[in-house]
Structure 1
């Protein structure tokens, strides 16, 4: 990060990495309204010196299932193992997608399922693999459901082991019913102050928490190690063998 780009920032962020997963139903190069909102958040990240990467999930042959590699369970191909490496290389994960029938898209749900497929893996300290990483979400649509979709995603991420900062979601919806999408002319989406504010707050909160966790060395490995629990180290519970 150059001196000019870092001026006024409370910390350095140029050693952080962020992965955005666009869960649109539209394959490239079709225009994605979700991408429009991702671009806003991503610009803030990159302005702070963060290295970002974008995956459009539908462009990849991600198999359906809840195992780390579905080629071991009947599928001929599965792009997830390679994408999982990108997930694990990122300090910050942002899941982004559209609303359909008031809920997250099928692609979003598949990505969450595949994240869940790897949630039983452990890090070098015996904690679940996603510990020490930060998660957030972005939602777009032209019908109701932003909070419902965000609630589902943020719960899922924290359950898998991600740390969620305050106000870790942002979204935009047009009028209820058929109408313009985020990037359509006259939608008002890119100019919407509420959406822009929440997107900015979400992005900075992700950055601040990722900075704190990186400086801390991740979540402290005490009381949350699966390996220690399985080995019988359960200091918070009485050992029935000694009653």
Structure 2
């Protein structure tokens, strides 16, 4: 039988060609403490250690209009900071959406961010693909009641539907024992020392970096067969309607 060494498996990779963005969807404005930020700090520190340029946004600190268009000032809103945030999103190879659980579901801020991401998903890149192609996505979830997998399922489905590539084990989180109790950063919670959470957060972080690096080296997702601009122009990439009888 093969023995698994406890030593590191090979030299640590460098990812200094990558950029990552964490969007924290806490309900707490800065500088109030965010338990979700505790998980961001773990993942972001790993990325920085390997040369990734890391950017962070606390969404609630910004005036984000409600809606599903790229700029909601064109649809009756007086202000909308989303277009500026979208530029930071498009500069990143890796997007990690982070947030708390409330009533067993993602926060209202998380829902707003996903809706605004959706509002820009129809924009096309230079290859005629949807805008988010060639990027990878993941999520981190905190709370003090159950629901990590439910929340992650919603986020990761949304990201892949918009065009992000989801690597293996692209989610991690901490909720403590079932039922009300201490939150992640509260004294005595055990959250920062939880091996399961630390392992999953580490695996998620490396899988995001590995896959983003592979996509960048490959020039993104190959364009043939997924170009909206070509489809609209009449190309069908070999598709043939079945004969109905």
TM over 0.5, shorter chain: yes
User: Distance between the aligned counterparts of 2:116 and 2:237, measured in 1?
Assistant: 33
SS in 2 for 1:26: coil
Q: Alignment length, in residue pairs?
A: 233
Please list the CA deviations of residues 142-181 of structure 1 after superposition, one character each: whole Å capped at 9, or x if unmatched: 0010000000000000000000000000000012222100
1:9 alignment counterpart: 12
Report the equivalent of 1:77: 79
Aligned-pair CA distance for 1:46:
0.4
Normalised to the residue count of structure 1, the TM-score between the two structures is 0.94
Equivalent in 119, 123, 126 of residue 124 of structure 1: 126
Could you tell me how far 1:238 is from its partner in structure 2? 3.2
The match for 2:236 among 234, 238, 243 is 234
Q: Which runs of 5+ in 1 are unaligned?
A: 1-6
CA RMSD in angstroms comes to 1.2
Q: Which runs of 5+ in 2 are unaligned?
A: 1-9
Aligned to 1:3: none
Q: Could you tell me which residue of structure 1 aligns to residue 28 of structure 2?
A: 26
Give the alignment of 1:36-55 within 5 angstroms: 36-55=38-57
d(CA) in 2 for partners of 1:18 and 1:235?
33
Partner of 1:140: 142
Deviation (angstroms), 1:239: 7.9
Q: Matches of 2:120 and 2:70 in 1, distance apart? A: 5
Structure 1 stretches of 4+ moved >3 Å: none
Question: Equivalences for 1:1-243 in 2 at 5 Å?
Answer: 8-10=11-13, 12-238=14-240
SS at match of 1:203: helix
Distance 1:102 1:65 in 2: 23
- For residue 4 of structure 1, what is the aligned residue in structure 2? none
Deviations 1:112-158 (A, max 9, x none): 00000000000001000000000000000000100000000000000
> Bigger shift: 114-123 or 173-182?
173-182
